[in-house]
Structure 1
Amino acid sequence: MRIFIAGHRGMVGSAILRQLQNQTHKSGGLEILTRSHSELDLTDQAAVRDFFKSQQPDAVILAAAKVGGILANKTYPADFIYENLMMQANIIHQAFAAGVSKLLFLGSSCIYPKEASQPMEEGALLTGLLEPTNEPYAIAKIAGIKLCESYNRQHQTDYRSVMPTNLYGPGDNFHLENSHVLPALIRRFEQAKRQGLSHVTIWGTGKPRREFLHVDDMASASLFLLDLPHEQYEANTQPMLSHINVGCGEDISIYELAQLISNVVGFQGEIRTDPTKPDGTMRKLLDVSRLNQMGWQPQITLSAGIESTYRWFLDNYDRVRL
């Protein structure tokens, strides 16, 4: 079996690659295809077409995406919607054209309306307005879900979509402005500790609540869902509701998260909030009952995941994305 991982150098893609390589080492019979951006520009339709024609993968994991935090989404909205739309459309269509029957598309929990009831069920999709700070990215991800649904309906493909909650772990982006909250806080508290600062100020009120899933758990869930028999997957989805939420089912306030990270890092100073900065959506918790019913549960607790991520950050400081 030949499987193409689009986005194998990203945080999620690299985690999936590690797990697939481990499977191959144990049992064999699997050929993993990867391409870096310099080798294959996924926004280039002709290049993607030629790749699928020549390589003929049996399955595809679409983990490639342009991602970032609130500030990055606010600063580069055109880049976020254009690049994600192009990558998704090219890969999904060319996969179909090359006869690929099985594909897994990785989306994001930001697809759900800003005022969606908590925890957010899969059926909340397209029932209200999106969070303005990342609307372009969310619209692109919704389009990816609908592309998969549409090819399944028209061409009887088996294209599945998974919607992860906030992810973190090895390979994350630790840029102070363009990263997500958890890795940004790890870096900020580490810097404050090294510089002997008396306090660290976090964006917003600290009251918004977020759910976090370690990327290795996300990789495990992705491969679990990709390998699930078609009949079992369909039994937990609907023709117009074919995506599955992936999360841990628990959330934590940003202030509590900051306290947890501060303790792991060993920062002894004060944690302050800045209410003049935007909070974003006040709560984002996924309903993961469907995934649980299918037989998957996360294995890495938040505290253990933060500790291992912090160790990875220190061990790889000279090559992490700063």
Structure 2
Amino acid sequence: MSWQTATDPDGDAVTYSVYLDTNTNPSTLLRSGISAESFVPTTLLKQNTVYYWKVVAADAKGIKTVSGIFKFTTLATPASLPVRITRKNASNALLGLNTITYDNQKRIESSRFVDKDMGTTSTYSYENEKITRLIEYDDTTRPSEKYVFYYNAEGMVKEEFFLNNTLTYIYQWYHRPDGGKERRCKYFNSGDLVETWYYRLSAIGNVERVVKDNVNAALEDEEYTYSGFDNKQRAVSSHVNYVIHNILMETQGTGITVPNNPTTFIRKQLGTGNLLANQKMEYTYNTKGQVTQTKIFQANTGTLVYTDIIEYQDF
């Protein structure tokens, strides 16, 4: 901050006091007795915030002159986004690697996943209230997959699933009066119902219970339950990805936020009660409250199953 020199008609020496805060008429004194015509604040300022400041000049007799009020805006916090997820087993051997890139609007542009069995590349494109995800396999004998997601002011509307560029399934989303959601999957050609997903959400949007109801009686219905949510930012490798596409939780406007991380996850078959997964998660966070490491344990034995390590980059 700098200002013009104040002159005293009696020739007295002039000193300056600087006031700065977020009020339009700042009243917080930063420094007094300044003899120079500039000052660099050492107070830690909030990022992406408008600050107002003024200078009061005083002579030896205590006669004061107040400047006009000036303002500036501090720089926004750089977006810190996940760019690499490394998965290791309990013996610290590599299980898989996922690398993520972003476009100039800080939206996911591509995701490259490789493990010992396969490699896939997902690319994303965005239009007004529409997201397209194309999945291609390193094994060229496998058909490509494509999801097209549609949403509006009410949230998610539908998904289209293409197998080798052929529209195969349509998922319709419904918003329940109790705040929950339904997702109904139908064959595109016949219109026959395949399955319905029921979602129960907390007041702030965390997924608590999901039921997958299969039309085919030969297939077991399944239940997914999540509990013990923390109050930190949801990790990109969350267990919630089993029941909701991650890109939907990453995109404003879909109405699906899922802000936090569960510490317990149970998946079971509803008919037989057969337990498919019973896991506990332990998280490590950085100073921004982002998950940098997730350890997944078998809930009944405490055995470590695998660890996800998440690396971030500022954009």
Which structure's CA Rg is the greater one? 2
Structure 1-normalised TM-score? 0.26
Structure 2-normalised TM-score? 0.26
Q: 1 or 2, which has the higher helix percentage?
A: 1
Q: 1 or 2, which has the higher strand percentage?
A: 2
